[in-house]
């Protein structure tokens, strides 16, 4: 392959801005598969009773089982099994009834036993899919269902810390034995956007199901991507490269793009893609090869003789099914039909389970469904992100917000005053909106005599503008209304003021 | 199945064992005699029989644990057997 005519295509040399232009971007397509690990939100570990919690002092959440003391016998966590089944049911997977745990053997300091307990043959969930709306390879938005190969249960390894001691690697086994589900997709994704949307949907699902907190930065949700390329129209798969070290959804998308570009560039310049694991460097926006392993991994899986098979009976499965919370797509449907919300509102409100639950609680006390939606999408969401209230109780109750909506609807306070009252409700949640509005003098002034004197004062202060208005500059009306509202300290009913001024100037 | 020299060194590597060349012949012999002995099982017709993964009774399943925290080790005890440690961590030769 001649390199010469390719240079302008790949220029400039700065990696991330290297954009493939046609025809290369249309000659090849990316084939992407994802492996997503979710740390389950159980109290204790997968096969031992030590605590499963993030951020504890190093090596304080360990037991003889986790540390592989001789003779220690593991026992599977019932709740972890149920959480895995929940995810499978949410994705429409087939649930494996007889589950065997296997040992995956390898040596690494973060793995005390010398093997990881995992599932080899017969993962707990088989097949299934997650629907997403994403930009496909050609950039057009499409609805597609990302197919799952399987979901299996396993335990996490400990943590190696390389930057505390210059002469040694420090080991913290708090994370060792933490329950994980690993979701493996089919190689059916075709674009970075599909990968990003899929992960966003997985994160939302696990949060709705209450099985994982979905935090990529803390590593409770982790994603490795497998990327290969092939000329368009070819069905055979190319050599796949695994990319690791991705700690945000954005970096997953960047890594897919970077790896696709690298493989196309390599192929076009006569290079050969080798099967390897590469690390993504977020600063450079590039992937780099890891050191070659001395020998191919050979994990020598075999069934763990210490762990009895876990059999999921019809009764147990029915019980898990009955305990399933409503899924985002069910609630989306409910919001658009039962509450008559536009698609946009329904999509936004179902982003988080807490948000939609709060919305339904508000709607239980007000018939103004759209107004409630506007409050949640606007001021409430702004407060939530500003105060980072995700894990804590939002101070304003659904009842109080419904009461505020009622005050506006009755004309007791104006929309503008309601914003002020809402701000006060966040600070002083123990006081009712009516009480706060009264205390702040924000009750809407509908007294025509009071307003008339304010209007007279404003018009007298702006004789030249009044003149211009009368000569046809009708947009000055807004100025007069604004001045009157200011003088009333926001307590006037703007509609009424509008009417009164027009009358005064006619 | 026969274990050849290459396989022997591969198994040794996976187990992180160093095989002195003079022990090579003896190890090959004993590994192969174990495998030959196990080969006899191939004479049994297992058509239609599910693989047996566990030796205990078939109804001994679902030995599960409730999701309750207990039996944690105090850190001093957790670290005491490690050849190298400080008051927080177990330490090993740098791996990065």
Nearest to A416 by CA among A396, A445, A386, A376: A445
Cβ-proximal residues to A3 (8 Å cutoff; 6+ apart), any chain: A269
**pLDDT in the model for residue A145:** 96
**pLDDT in the model for residue A238:** 92
Query: Per the CB < 8 Å rule, is B93 touching A169?
Result: yes
Spatial distance between the Cα atoms of A46 and A81, rounded to a whole number of angstroms: 9
pLDDT range class, residue A6, cuts 50, 70, 90: very low
Whether the predicted pLDDT of B37 surpasses 80: yes
**pLDDT in the model for residue A20:** 62
Query: Per the CB < 8 Å rule, is B65 touching A81?
Result: no
pLDDT range class, residue A22, cuts 50, 70, 90: low
CA distances from A267 to A3, A229, A231, A421 (A): 11, 9, 11, 63
Nearest residue of A to residue B79, measured between CA atoms: A59
Please report the beta strands in A54-178, taking only residues with DSSP state E, as ranges in sequence order.
76-77, 94-95, 98-99, 102-105, 115-118, 125-126, 129-135, 141-155, 159-161, 168-172
Set of chain B residues whose Cβ sits within 8 Å of the Cβ of A98: 61
User: What are the percentages of helix, strand and coil residues in chain A, rounded to 5?
Assistant: 40, 20, 40
Chain Cα centroid distance, residue A97: 31
Q: Is B68 on the interface with A (CB under 8 A)?
A: yes
Query: Per the CB < 8 Å rule, is A162 touching B94?
Result: yes
Nearest to A206 by CA among A193, A221, A188: A221
Q: If DSSP states are collapsed to H, E and C, what string results for chain B?
A: CCCCHHHHHHHHHHCCCCCCHHHHHHHHHHHHHHHHHHHHHHHCCCCCCCCCCCCCCCCCCCCEECCCCCCCCCHHHHHCCCCCECCCCEEEECCC
Degrees (nearest 5) of the Cα angle A453, A454, A459?
A: 100
Set of chain B residues whose Cβ sits within 8 Å of the Cβ of A85: none
Query: Per the CB < 8 Å rule, is B95 touching A109?
Result: yes
The pLDDT of A129-134, averaged and rounded, is 94
> Closest approach of chain B CAs to the CA of A249, in angstroms?
26
Q: Is B52 on the interface with A (CB under 8 A)?
A: no
**pLDDT in the model for residue A12:** 33
Q: Is the peptide bond before A306 cis (omega within 30 degrees of 0)?
A: no
Give the pairing type, strands B64-65 and A76-77. parallel
Task: Map residue A315 onto helix, strand or coil.
Answer: helix
Residue pair A403/A432 in contact by the 8 Å Cβ criterion: yes
Q: Is B54 on the interface with A (CB under 8 A)?
A: yes
Residue pair A405/A378 in contact by the 8 Å Cβ criterion: no
Set of chain B residues whose Cβ sits within 8 Å of the Cβ of A107: 16
**pLDDT in the model for residue A10:** 35
Q: Suggest the residue from B14, B51, B69 to mutate for an interface test with chain A (most A CBs closer than 10 A).
A: B69
Number of CB atoms found within 10 A of residue A410's CB = 9
DSSP string, A381-434: HHHHHHHT-TTS--SS-HHHHHHHHHHHHTTSS-HHHHHHHHHHHHH-TTS-HH
Residue pair A276/A289 in contact by the 8 Å Cβ criterion: yes
Helices and strands per DSSP (H, E), number in chain A: 18, 18
Q: Which domains, from first to last, does chain B contain? A: 5-42 (1.10.20)
* Residue found by looking up tokens 């009424």 in the block: A496
Spatial distance between the Cα atoms of A301 and A121, rounded to a whole number of angstroms: 9
**pLDDT in the model for residue A180:** 98
Query: Per the CB < 8 Å rule, is A161 touching B88?
Result: no
Query: Per the CB < 8 Å rule, is A78 touching B94?
Result: no
Encode pLDDT of A303-312 as tens digits. 999 999 999 9
Q: Suggest the residue from B59, B62, B70, B85 to mutate for an interface test with chain A (most A CBs closer than 10 A).
A: B62
Set of chain B residues whose Cβ sits within 8 Å of the Cβ of A161: 89
Pick A51's closest partner by Cβ from B10, B13, B69. Answer: B69
Query: Per the CB < 8 Å rule, is B91 touching A80?
Result: no
DSSP state of A96: P
Q: Is B76 on the interface with A (CB under 8 A)?
A: no
Query: Per the CB < 8 Å rule, is A303 touching B53?
Result: yes
Nearest residue of A to residue B74, measured between CA atoms: A60
H-state helical runs in A289-380: 314-322, 328-337, 343-349, 353-363, 369-375
Query: Per the CB < 8 Å rule, is B92 touching A44?
Result: no
Pick B54's closest partner by Cβ from A105, A172, A308. Answer: A308
Degrees (nearest 5) of the Cα angle A149, A154, A156?
A: 125
pLDDT range class, residue A439, cuts 50, 70, 90: confident
Set of chain A residues whose Cβ sits within 8 Å of the Cβ of B67: 42-44, 77-80
Encode pLDDT of A321-339 as tens digits. 999 999 999 999 999 999 9
What ipTM was reported for this prediction?
A: 0.91
Query: Per the CB < 8 Å rule, is B72 touching A62?
Result: yes
Set of chain A residues whose Cβ sits within 8 Å of the Cβ of B76: none
CA distances from A130 to A124, A194, A224, A257 (A): 17, 11, 18, 22
pTM score of the predicted model: 0.82
Across A240-249, B16-25, B48-57, least confident range: B48-57
DSSP string, A15-67: GGG--PPTTHHHHEEEEEEEEEEEE---SB-SSS-SB--TTPPTT-S--TTTT
Across A262-266, A384-388, A471-475, B59-63, least confident range: A384-388
pLDDT range class, residue B57, cuts 50, 70, 90: low
Set of chain B residues whose Cβ sits within 8 Å of the Cβ of A64: 71, 73
DSSP state of A377: I
Query: Quick one: residue A79, left, alpha or beta (phi over 0 = left, psi -120 to 50 = alpha)?
Result: alpha
Spatial distance between the Cα atoms of A409 and A253, rounded to a whole number of angstroms: 45
Mean pLDDT of chain A: 88
Residue pair A350/A335 in contact by the 8 Å Cβ criterion: yes
Residue pair A123/A310 in contact by the 8 Å Cβ criterion: no
Query: Per the CB < 8 Å rule, is B64 touching A310?
Result: yes
Report the interhelical angle of A448-461 vs A494-505 (nearest 10°).
Answer: 60
Pick A308's closest partner by Cβ from B16, B61, B88. Answer: B61
Query: Per the CB < 8 Å rule, is A77 touching B65?
Result: yes
């Amino acid at each position: 392959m001649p390199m010469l005519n390719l240079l302008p295509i790949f220029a400039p040399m700065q990696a991330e801005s290297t954009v493939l232009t046609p025809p290369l971007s249309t000659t090849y397509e990316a084939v992407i598969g994802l492996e997503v690990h979710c740390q389950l939100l159980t109290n204790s570990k997968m096969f031992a009773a030590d605590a499963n919690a993030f951020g504890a002092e190093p090596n304080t959440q360990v037991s003889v089982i986790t540390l592989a003391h001789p003779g220690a016998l593991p026992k599977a966590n019932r709740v972890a099994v149920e959480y895995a089944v929940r995810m499978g049911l949410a994705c429409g997977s087939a649930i494996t009834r007889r589950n065997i745990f296997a040992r995956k053997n390898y040596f690494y300091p973060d793995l005390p036993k010398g093997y990881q307990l995992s599932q080899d043959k017969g993962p707990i969930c088989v097949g299934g899919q997650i629907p997403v709306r994403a930009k496909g390879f050609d950039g057009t938005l499409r609805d597609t269902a990302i197919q799952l190969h399987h979901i299996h249960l396993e335990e996490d390894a400990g943590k190696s810390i390389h930057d505390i001691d210059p002469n040694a690697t420090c080991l913290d086994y708090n994370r060792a034995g933490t329950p994980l589900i690993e979701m493996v997709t089919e190689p059916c994704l075709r674009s970075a956007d599909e990968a990003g949307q899929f992960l966003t949907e997985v994160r939302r699902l696990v949060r709705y199901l209450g099985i994982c907190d979905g935090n990529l930065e803390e590593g409770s949700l982790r994603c490795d991507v497998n990327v290969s390329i092939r000329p368009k129209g070819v069905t055979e798969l190319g050599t796949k490269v695994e990319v690791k070290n991705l700690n945000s959804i954005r970096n997953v998308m960047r890594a897919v793009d970077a790896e696709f570009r690298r493989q196309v560039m390599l192929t076009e310049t006569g290079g050969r893609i080798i099967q390897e694991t590469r690390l993504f460097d977020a600063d450079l926006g590039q992937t780099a090869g890891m050191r070659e392993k001395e020998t191919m991994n050979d994990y020598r899986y075999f069934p763990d003789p210490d762990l009895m098979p876990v059999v999921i009976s019809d009764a147990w499965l029915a019980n898990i099914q009955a305990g399933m919370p409503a899924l985002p797509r069910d609630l989306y449907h409910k919001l658009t039909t039962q509450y008559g919300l536009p698609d946009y509102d329904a999509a936004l409100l179902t982003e988080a389970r807490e948000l939609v639950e709060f919305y339904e609680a508000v709607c239980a006390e007000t018939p103004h469904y759209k107004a409630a939606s506007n409050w949640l999408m606007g001021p409430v969401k702004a407060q939530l992100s500003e105060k980072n209230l995700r894990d804590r109780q939002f101070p304003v109750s659904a009842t109080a917000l419904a009461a505020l909506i009622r005050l506006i609807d009755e004309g007791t306070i104006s929309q503008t005053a309601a914003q002020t009252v809402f701000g006060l409700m966040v600070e002083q949640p123990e006081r009712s909106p009516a009480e706060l509005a009264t205390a702040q003098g924000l009750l809407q002034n509908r007294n025509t005599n009071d307003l008339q004197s304010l209007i007279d004062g404003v018009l007298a202060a702006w004789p030249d503008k009044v003149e211009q208005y009368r000569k046809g500059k009708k947009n000055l009306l807004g100025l007069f209304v604004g001045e009157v509202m200011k003088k009333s300290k926001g307590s006037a009913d703007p509609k009424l003021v509008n009417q009164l001024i027009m009358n005064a100037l006619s | 199945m026969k274990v050849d020299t290459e396989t022997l060194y591969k198994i040794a590597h996976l187990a992180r064992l160093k095989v002195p060349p003079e022990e090579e012949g003896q190890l090959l012999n004993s590994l192969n005699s174990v495998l030959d002995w196990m080969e006899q099982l191939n004479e049994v017709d297992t058509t239609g029989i599910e693989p047996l993964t566990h030796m205990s009774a078939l109804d001994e399943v679902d030995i599960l644990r409730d999701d309750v925290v207990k039996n944690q080790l105090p850190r001093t005890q957790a670290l005491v057997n490690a050849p190298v440690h400080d008051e927080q961590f177990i330490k090993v030769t740098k791996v990065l």
